[in-house]
Amino acid sequence: CTNMGDELFHDLPLGESVETAPGVAVERRSFLTTTAVLFAAAGLPGLARARRLDPRRDVFDFDDFLREALPVAKQFVADTTYAGQARYLHALAALAVLLEDVPQPEMTSKGNGTFIGANEGGDPFNVLHWRMEPGSKIGAHPHIYGNVVTLGLAGEARISNYEMVGARDFDTKEAFVVRRTVEQWLTPGAINLVNLERGYMHGFDAGASGARGLDITTRIREKRPSPSLALDKPRNADQGLFEAHWSV
């Protein structure tokens, strides 16, 4: 339910405080401000543009993103544990969500209504720019050497993440079981994360309006060919388990 205090808070300008009860003051803070404070506390360089940004009227463009994100990425990329990757990916995602759009580069058709290009990235990540025609698919596949922040820019696509149950084996010829860890609609401003320790496979199904977005990819392991995931049949629908095999 909504009360007068809720309405007063939502009408409060960012960064200003109001006394809601004797001795109790509330300050409205944006997600961006909170994130910038956390980064500053961690001793990270950069974020000057992000700290000044007023999301009500300012534009955060791709050059701003690179300027802010590259120092953060260099600070966090060395820790490749699950927790280290999670911190790295969420730090990049906190800046990527500020992007309303990114110029489309020249794109190459990958067949079946999907197209891929690249925006200028840097060290340590690269930025793939993809587009999907309505109803097209990008089959589920594992990320073996690079983790990913996926950002939706236009349209919508259903994205699903999977991981193998038990020990990972990307070369096995035998059937195995996977768990679906995430199923979401990727819309403009939405984020999907691929950590090489959890939910490291993903696939896309474009909606009726097609879809476009970015894959901010960071290689942290030796590069090698990646197979495609083929789902055979559900093993336990309630637990998101499926029988599967690798398809070349």
Q: What is the pLDDT of residues 120-171, one digit of tens each?
A: 988 999 999 999 999 999 999 999 999 999 999 999 999 999 999 999 999 9
Q: What pLDDT, in 10s, does the model give residues 216-237?
A: 999 999 999 999 999 999 999 9
DSSP state at residue 123: S
Q: What is the percentage of the chain residues whose pLDDT exceeds 70?
A: 77
For residue 71, give both structure tokens: 């120092």
For position 114, what pLDDT does the model report?
98
Tokens coding 240? 């998101």
CB within 8 Å of 8: residues ≥ 6 apart: 18, 20
- pLDDT of res. 10: 47
Can you give the C-alpha Rg of the chain in angstroms?
A: 20
> What pLDDT is recorded for position 122?
85
pLDDT of residue 2: 46
Does 116 score more than 70 pLDDT? yes
Name the band, by pLDDT with cuts 50, 70 and 90, for residue 74.
very high
Report the sign of the C-alpha dihedral through residues 54, 60, 64, 65, in that order: positive
CA distance 137 to 157: 9
| pLDDT tens per residue across span 35-67 | 554 455 455 554 555 555 665 567 899 999 999
